């Protein structure tokens, strides 16, 4: 097994150093219907591909990746899976350049691979673009969700696939709205960890059905 781990790491490094930038991991599934509810696995009829492409070999088993399509959405004790392209990729926008924030088509990720286990970390920001300010409604910013997904995959060298074994999903919330308090004109909500309940813990998810990323 140790020899196989060395061979796989050598393969990754040699492909990158040879400027063969097409090395990627791909999983095909149906897009999630619900853009934000992490517990809703209802799929659309749209078939999309979750694809990680290596863009840089940092060294020491670390790689920079580009993610397109989104990532699998998993709920414990459910065999259903859909691909979350909304929160998985998130939004980005600079007012002077972009106007309103827009959904991203790709996002960077960071990975560590020791020849057997692959750990990928993706951080994104999702917004519902609900900000408002007019004479008849109180001021309110959009809901902003900082999201981190950590994927833990196990390499099967005989089939050239990576099996998703665990996911760690964490989501925070920031929001500012006008207040009726005479001392504090605005009230700010900041929840650094999962916003379903105050100080809830990140979700540790175990896929019930097989989720296999093909090495291409």
For 61, counting Cβ atoms within 10 Å of its Cβ (0-12 exposed, 13-18 middle, 19+ buried), the class is: middle
Residues contacting residue 149 through CB under 8 Å, at least 6 positions apart: 71, 88, 121, 122, 124, 167, 168, 169, 170
CB 115 within 8 A of CB 9: yes
Question: Residue 48 corresponds to which tokens in the numbers above?
Answer: 């999309």
35 found inside a domain:
yes
pLDDT-based confidence at residue 118 (cuts at 50, 70, 90): very high
174 found inside a domain:
no
Question: Residue 142 corresponds to which tokens in the numbers above?
Answer: 């959009």
Q: What range defines the domain where residue 211 resides?
A: 2-122+148-165+201-215
74 found inside a domain:
yes
Question: Residue 104 corresponds to which tokens in the numbers above?
Answer: 């991203």
48 found inside a domain:
yes
158 found inside a domain:
yes
3-state percent helix, strand, coil for the chain, nearest multiple of 5: 10, 50, 35
Give CA–CA dist 159/156, Å, rounded: 6
Given this model, what pLDDT does residue 130 score? Answer: 87
28 found inside a domain:
yes
Task: Give the long-range contacts of residues 99-107, CB within 8 A, separation 24 or more.
Answer: 100/129, 101/127, 101/129, 105/68, 106/66, 106/67, 106/68, 107/66, 107/67
Give CA–CA dist 165/142, Å, rounded: 34
20 found inside a domain:
yes
- Tens of pLDDT, residue by residue over 122-134, are 999 999 988 877 7
pTM of the shown model: 0.85
pLDDT at 8 over 70: no
Q: Would you mind telling me the total number of residues written for the chain in this entry?
A: 216
Q: How many structural domains compose the chain?
A: 1
pLDDT at 199 over 80: no
């Amino acid at each position: 097994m140790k020899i196989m781990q060395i061979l796989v790491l050598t393969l990754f490094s040699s492909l990158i150093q040879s400027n063969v930038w097409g090395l990627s991991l791909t999983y095909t599934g149906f897009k999630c219907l619900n853009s934000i509810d992490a517990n809703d696995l209802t799929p659309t009829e749209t078939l999309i591909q979750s694809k990680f492409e290596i863009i840089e070999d940092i060294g020491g088993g670390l790689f920079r990746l580009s993610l397109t399509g989104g990532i699998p959405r998993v709920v414990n004790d459910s065999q259903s899976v859909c691909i979350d392209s909304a929160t998985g990729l998130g939004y980005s926008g600079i007012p002077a350049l972009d106007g309103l924030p827009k959904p991203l088509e790709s996002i960077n990720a960071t990975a560590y691979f020791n020849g057997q286990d692959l750990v990928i970390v993706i951080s994104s920001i999702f917004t519902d673009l609900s900000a408002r300010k007019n004479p008849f409604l109180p001021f309110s910013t959009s809901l902003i969700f900082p999201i981190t997904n950590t994927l833990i995959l196990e390499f099967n060298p005989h089939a050239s696939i990576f099996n998703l074994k665990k996911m760690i999903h964490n989501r925070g919330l920031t929001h500012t709205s006008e207040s009726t308090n005479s001392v504090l004109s605005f009230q700010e909500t900041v929840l650094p960890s999962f916003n379903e309940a105050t100080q809830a813990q990140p979700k540790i998810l175990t896929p019930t059905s097989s989720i296999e990323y093909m090495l291409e």
